[in-house]
Amino acid sequence: MTLDEKITILRKSKGISQELLAENSRLSLRTIQRIESGESIPRPYTLKTLANALQVPIEELTSVAYGVRTTIPDEKDQANLPLMNFSALMVLICPGLNILLPYLIWKRHRGAGLIDSTGRRIINFQISWTVISMLALITLHVGTKALTGQFVVGHSAPPAVFGYLILILINCVFIFGSALRLSRRLPIYSFVPELI
């Protein structure tokens, strides 16, 4: 059970509409809708406000089945998420560091629920991006050889280099987009398959 499901179940079990919960918690209706749909990760203050409005202890909202989240996300969690996200930019220095550095940060802090789930998404995206990029580059290199009839071992064809630069630019766009979503406390990379 996820936090959004738990809040929805508690609200419905008490016979409270989303509008009434918004009024009692002094949060906007849109905020309640985004939390219950899983679009937004509530801040600690918002969780406390919701717990008070639902008349349950804060632990009732923060303890989720299967140990996904057992504590309120604190400022340390929030500080490590951008670091983990931006560490993937190390692909600009050396391919593979975009996976290794986020993985090391995640491994060190994975006991925290928010770091664990969001860190997995970052790593899963970087693994997926790397695999797709390598397949695209191989296809581009072989395709260039097929079209031109030239294939030099040990040298990268200009289209392959240009293609790799475009793929790195796409990765950077995703990283900066995720940073923006993290600053708004929205989930990231929900479209990426779970690999780890």
Q: What is the pLDDT along the chain (196 residues), one digit of tens a residue?
A: 678 888 888 888 888 999 999 999 999 999 999 888 888 888 888 888 998 999 888 877 776 433 444 344 455 566 788 899 999 999 999 989 999 999 998 888 766 567 777 888 999 999 999 999 999 888 887 877 777 776 555 555 577 778 888 999 999 999 999 999 888 877 888 888 888 8
Same-domain check for residues 82 and 178: yes
pLDDT at 122: 93
Q: Are 60 and 10 in contact (CB under 8 A)?
A: yes
Same-domain check for residues 120 and 144: yes
pTM: 0.61
Number of compact structural domains in the chain: 2
CB atoms within 10 A of CB 135: 10
Question: How many Cα neighbours within 13 Å face the side chain of 52?
Answer: 12
CB atoms within 10 A of CB 178: 24
Task: Give the phi and the psi of residue 49 in degrees, each rounded to 5.
Answer: -65, -45
Can you point out the beta strands (E) in the chain?
none
Element spanning 139, H or E: helix 113-148
Same-domain check for residues 173 and 81: yes
Provide the domain limits for residue 37. 6-67
The C-alpha atoms of residue 101 and residue 107 are separated, in whole angstroms, by: 10
The CA dihedral of 29, 32, 36, 38, to the nearest 10 degrees, is 100
Task: Please give the radius of gyration of the chain, using alpha carbons only, rounded to the nearest integer.
Answer: 21
Same-domain check for residues 126 and 55: no
pLDDT at 162: 84
